A and B are shown apart, each in its own frame.
Chain A
Amino acid sequence: MRLRSLSVMLVAILAAGAGNLCLSKGMQLVGSLEVFTPSAVWAFFSAAVTNPWVIGGIALELANFLLWLAVLSWSQVSWALPLNALEYILVALAARLFLGEVVGPVRWVGIGLIAAGVVLLYASWEHPETDAA
């Protein structure tokens, strides 16, 4: 039960992380939304959803969503959701490598605190009284 949830979650997280990198790359190419008239907003979203990187990102996020549906049928939402935070570490590393983002010490500390919170949340599943279905 637990192994099944965990392994499906890990695959889902990898898909989500890769998806967000693609979306970010695509939106950098589409450019910043700066004009908020209806036609400008429409043009922005049209450019976004026809960008190949964004389309690839959507496909990966969709894969993540379908896996997530399966996990939700097995686990409590307040336990299962925080495991997604592993994605932040992977994405921060990959964004440095592939998108040239500068990740400073304060941001790493923040990501570290978030990851620690995630480990603590994971540990709380050891206690069956908090895990009643």
Chain B
Amino acid sequence: MIRATVVLWAAMLASSLSNVLTSRGMRARGPLEDYSPGHLLRWGWGSVTDKWVLLGLVAGAANFLLWLVVLSWADVSWALPMNAVEYAVTALMAMWFLKERVAPRRWAAIGLIVAGVGCVMGSW
């Protein structure tokens, strides 16, 4: 359980980093509004070749390999909810790096999620 938790946290750090980098890249690119196939293809290609999105993909790949290791050790019904800690981490990183506001109600929600993760962790 200890080693699965540690590797899971490492995976989550990579995942949070990936989300923030990807979000930064996608928001710089602007919203998807035209759904014609040609535009979708260009939009998709432009997205995955964006510098920030690419960095996000590298962090995402690291997250995925670590996740496979965790799944080789743990039940998916244990390991998956453990990922919810990422919401707290992502909210913090979004606040610091993307300057998003996190309202009090969201902090309460994050508290519930963290308490739930504690229960799941103890249920190994």
Contacts and interface: CB of A to CB of B under 8 A. Distances in A.
A96 B116 CA distance: 19
Contacts of B27: 72-73
B87 interface: yes
A132 to B, nearest CB: 8
Would you call the interface of chain B mostly helix, strand, loop, or mixed? helix
Contacts of A54: 68
Interface string A97-122: 00101011011011111111111110
A82 B109 contact: yes
Contact of A95 (B26, B75, B111): B75
Would you call the interface of chain A mostly helix, strand, loop, or mixed? helix
B91 to A, nearest CB: 5
Given A65-B60, A77-B90, A95-B75, A120 B108 contact: yes
26 contacts: A20-B76, A23-B76, A28-B72, A32-B73, A33-B73, A73-B30, A74-B31, A78-B94, A78-B100, A82-B109, A85-B84, A91-B77, A106-B119, A107-B123, A110-B117, A110-B120, A113-B119, A114-B116, A114-B117, A116-B112, A116-B116, A117-B110, A120-B106, A120-B112, A123-B105, A129-B103
Query: 5 nearest interchain CB pairs?
Result: A110-B119, A113-B116, A117-B112, A110-B120, A117-B113
